Amino acid sequence: MSTNLHPIHDRLLDRSAKETLMGHRGLVVWMFGLSGSGKSTLAALLERQLHESGIHTAVLDGDNVRSGLNSNLGFSDADRLENIRRVSEVAKLFCRNGLVTLASFITPRIELRELARQTIGTEDFLGVYVKCDFETCARRDVKGLYAKAAAGGVAQFTGKDSTFEEPLEVDLILDTDAESETESLARLEAAVRARLT
C-alpha cells in the first residue's frame, strides 16, 4: 500500500450506526455456479422479496459488472481473479454500510470463492452454490452462450474450455436441476433471513 494514502475510516459513521438505520445487519450472499444455472434469476427474485419486506439490498451481477466497472477485464485466469477481487471489495463496502448484497458470479475456482470469503469476512459471507449440470444449462442456454461456445465463438467457456471446480464446503446448495425455482427461492430466502437477525 502506498505511504501516500490516508484512509479516513476513523472519521466516518461506524457500521452499527448504518445497520441501526437500516433495521438489519449487512450480509453478502455470494451465489456461484455455471452460466444458466439460475443465479441471476434467483438474485432478482430474492431482491424483490426482501425489498417488499423492508430489507435494503444491492445486486452485483456478473454481466452487469463486466459491462461497467470491470469492462477492461477478459476471462483469463488473471482477469477472473481481478474481477472477483474488485467485486469482493465492492460487496464488502456495501455490507459494511448495512446492505444485503446479492452477488451473482460464476466464480469457477475454489481459490476465487475463498478470496471472496476472506475479503468480505466469514461472518458476513453466505456462500450459495447454484448447482446445475452442464447439459441442463446448455439446454436452457438463456443467453445463447452454449451454442456460441459449441461453435467456437466463446473462448475459455466455463465448463467446456475452462474448469468449474465443485465446492468442497459451502453454506447452501440450491440444486436447480432437482428442485423448482419456487423451492430454491424459498430455501435461499430462509437462509438469508436467518443470517440477518
Report how far residue 114's alpha carbon sits from residue 196's, in angstroms, rounded to the nearest whole number.
22
- The β-bridge partners of 126 are 29
Give residue-wise pLDDT tens across range 142-154: 766 655 555 565 5
d(CA 2, CA 131): 41
Least confident of 52-56, 157-161, 172-176: 157-161
Q: How much of the chain, in percent, has pLDDT values that exceed 70?
A: 88
Angle at 62 between CA 151 and CA 134, to 5 degrees: 45
Q: Which of 78, 95, 96 is nearest to 30 (CA)?
A: 95
User: What's the mean pLDDT in 38-50?
Assistant: 97
pLDDT of residue 108: 92
pLDDT of residue 100: 98
pLDDT at 80 over 80: yes
Instruction: Return the HEC string of 85-142.
Output: HHHHHHHHHHHHCCCEEEEECCCCCHHHHHHHHHHHCHHHEEEEEEECCHHHHHHHCC
pLDDT value at 175 more than 90:
yes
What is the band of 103 on the pLDDT scale with cuts at 50, 70, 90? very high
pLDDT of residue 10: 81
Give the pLDDT confidence of 108-140 residue by residue, as tens digits: 999 999 999 999 999 999 999 999 988 888 887
The pLDDT of residue 139: 83
pLDDT reported for residue 95: 97
What average pLDDT score do residues 43-49 get? 98
The domains of the chain, with CATH numbers, are 13-195 (3.40.50.300)
Please give the Cα distance from 146 to 134 (Å, whole number): 9
Report which of 195, 189, 197 is spatially closest to residue 44, judged by C-alpha positions.
189
Going by pLDDT thresholds of 50, 70 and 90, the confidence category of residue 43 is: very high
* CA 44 to chain centroid: 12
